[in-house]
Amino acid sequence: MDVLAEVERSGFVESRHRGVAVRVDPSGQVDWAVGDPGAVIFPRSSNKPLQAIGLLRAGLPLDGRLLAVATSSHSGEPVHVEAVREVLGLAGLDESALLTPPSYPLDPHEHARVLREGGGRAPILMDCSGKHAAMLLTCREHGWPVDDYLAPEHPVQQAVTAAFVDLTGSAPEVVGTDGCGAPLLGTTVAGLAAAFGRIVRRSTPESARLVDAMVAHPQMVSGSRRTERRFMEAFGGAIVKSGAESVLAMALPDGTAWAVKIEDGGERALYVALARALQVAGLDHPLLDERPEVLGGGRPVGAVRPTF
């Protein structure tokens, strides 16, 4: 993997982040890369739009903000929690049906709010609860059992896997277990980018519904304070989804798509690498010039900068 970004503190290079950045053209072919586009990764939550396509093909009856929260790694804001409860209600279920591990909200402000209000960890606060609620609703639509919906052999997971194969162009390179407990399907960095490009072109009714939902409700895909939301709003019609351990995929309406993976999982290099990859492609927006500050004593003493 190549060096993608470095951290400068007081004029000294403190650390370097290695990884891969890939761009595919509207046909899904790699036309630019830093590092190995064939590197196999776990996309983590960047897989959620692919998983949602599988659920829609299996009959998930959601659109708009409720479909957007099904693709989300949400911040745990009240608007997200209420949406997840609404999806569960459509399934005739409550929070006890969720198999997400109890968690605090992903957003530190919301985490603090829960503590101030005397709350604690809960499955619905886990950032993947929207996806899980959508899986449960899909099960209810078919009369499938809901107590083991995370088992790889369960029909709902088989539907997700079939969509993953179709969108990435190959069977999962490796299968693991994600942080939320769901099966975790691995692909190449290029495969992830190509999948996003196929989705964003709205070539099927399911992809059109999904893109409409994500584009119309970027706050539901992530949160009001998240960089994902800012990128989606800056580039109209784009879909953007991050994943744990520093993964990110983005696609423009014409099907051009990018995927980035930072090898050490350090997130501060992630959006710097994506921004530079977009600039290399000729895109321009003030957001792409922003760099995370490195603070010392509460004041800026350095920055994270791209190296390509």
Q: Look at residue 142 in the predicted model and tell me its pLDDT.
A: 97
Q: Look at residue 222 in the predicted model and tell me its pLDDT.
A: 97
| C-alpha of 208 from chain center | 18
Average pLDDT in the 18-29 region? 98
From residue 139, alpha-carbon distances to 30, 49, 84, 97 in Å are 37, 18, 16, 12
Average pLDDT in the 115-128 region? 98
For residue 38, pLDDT over 90 is answered with yes
For residue 210, pLDDT over 90 is answered with yes
Q: How confident is the model at residue 151 (pLDDT cuts 50, 70, 90)?
A: very high
The pTM (predicted TM-score) of the whole model is: 0.97
Average pLDDT in the 61-82 region? 98
Ordered by where they begin, the domains of the chain are: 2-306 (3.40.710)
- The answer to whether the CB of 183 falls within 8 A of the CB of 152 is yes
Neighbouring-strand partners of residue 41: 187
Token match 């072109």: residue? Answer: 201
pLDDT tens digits, 153-202: 999 999 999 999 999 999 999 999 999 999 999 999 999 999 999 999 99
For residue 294, pLDDT over 90 is answered with yes
Q: Look at residue 1 in the predicted model and tell me its pLDDT.
A: 87
Closest of 119, 111, 109, 105 to residue 72, by C-alpha? 105
Q: Look at residue 22 in the predicted model and tell me its pLDDT.
A: 98
Average pLDDT in the 301-305 region? 95
CA atoms within 13 A on the CB side of 185: 26
pLDDT above 90: percentage of residues in the chain: 99
Neighbouring-strand partners of residue 23: 32, 258
pLDDT, the chain, mean: 97
pLDDT tens digits, 237-258: 999 999 999 999 999 999 999 9
Residue 196, Cβ density class (10 Å: 0-12 exposed, 13-18 middle, ≥19 buried): buried
Q: Look at residue 225 in the predicted model and tell me its pLDDT.
A: 96
Q: Look at residue 171 in the predicted model and tell me its pLDDT.
A: 97
Q: Look at residue 235 in the predicted model and tell me its pLDDT.
A: 98
For residue 277, pLDDT over 90 is answered with yes
For residue 130, pLDDT over 90 is answered with yes
